[in-house]
Amino acid sequence: MATITAFEVGYCTHIGCMALKGAGLRVCRFPSRAWLLEVGDRRWLWDTGYASWFEQYTRSGVFRIYRQVTPVYFDPEESLARQLLAQGLVGGDIQGIILSHFHADHVAGLRDFPGVKCICSGEGWEQVRTLRGFAALRQAFVPGLFPADFETSLTFIEGFDARQLPAALAPFTHGYVLPGSEGQIILVPLPGHAAGHIGAFILTDDGWTLLAADAAWSPANYRELRGPSRLANLVMADATAYYQTLERLNQLWQQGSVDIRLCHEGDL
């Protein structure tokens, strides 16, 4: 079965009520997580978290607003590349980087993995790839974080084999099987939060796990169907779709058979 190893790669802060209605004005810490997924001798990364590149490409211009709105705390020793190296892994040991979406806190480490292919939603990439200036800022899309050859390294999930999901994963019904994963990693659209936002169902020895990325920022979002502040709708790709995804996560959680993991679950 597949194995999942979590890494915390920097964090940002924001007032709690922006992520969860009723959480108040207390400033909360939101870790940025990435995961190493392994099936046999094959390895993939799920997102990259922050990296020093984030500071470089948000130092000036319109993207400086990004770091002012969500202050980032990052030690270069925490970079995903260095944490993997401490475990004896380098870029050449990784089959690919799966991007849950294109927000800066999920892709900032791409330049630390030259030559590693990336996997993402083609539909989502088409929506963001040409964004610049304030239009890009609104989507938390920082073009400088993407290497010059990024598009040549891409594989889109829409080209993978589609598969009907087992009843235990209802209300999710279909997904895309990650090539080389022996059917143990299935990528699924989780629309709303961002263009091309996806999750991954992963079959481990303990059963199914869903990496739900930013489909919620706190377990209370989907367990209590208590969403974020309405102000958060301003930075969502599709607020209506976001709440539909939240409803589906609630139904999945009520079944009690899937471990749901969020990227930024913090101290709310």
- Cα–Cα distances (Å) from 210 to 46, 51, 136, 218, 265, in that order, read 12, 25, 28, 14, 14
Q: Return the residue matching tokens 């899937």.
A: 258
Instruction: Give the pLDDT score at 197.
Output: 98
Q: What is the pLDDT of residues 158-197, one digit of tens each?
A: 999 999 999 999 999 999 999 999 999 999 999 999 999 9
Rg (CA), the chain: 17
Angle at 159 between CA 136 and CA 252, to 5 degrees: 75
Token reading at 170? 């209802």
> What mean pLDDT is predicted for residues 121-141?
96
Question: CB–CB of 246/228 below 8 Å?
Answer: no
Q: What integer best gives the mean pLDDT of the chain?
A: 96
CB under 8 Å to 71, separation ≥6 — which residues? 12, 13
User: For 133-151, what is each residue's pLDDT tens digit?
Assistant: 999 999 999 999 999 999 9
Task: Say how many C-beta atoms besides its own lie within 10 A of residue 12's C-beta.
Answer: 22
Domains identified in the chain and CATH numbers: 3-261 (3.60.15.10)
On the question of pLDDT at 235 being above 90, the answer is no
pLDDT digits (tens, 9 = 90+) for 13-57: 999 999 999 999 999 999 999 999 999 999 999 999 999 999 999
Question: Does 254 have pLDDT greater than 90?
Answer: yes
Q: Which of 81, 82, 132 is nearest to 110 (CA)?
A: 81
Q: How far is 221 from 215, CA to CA, in rounded Å?
A: 9
Residue 136's H or E segment, with its range, is: helix 133-138
**Whether pLDDT at 268 is above 90:** no
Enter the pTM of the model: 0.97
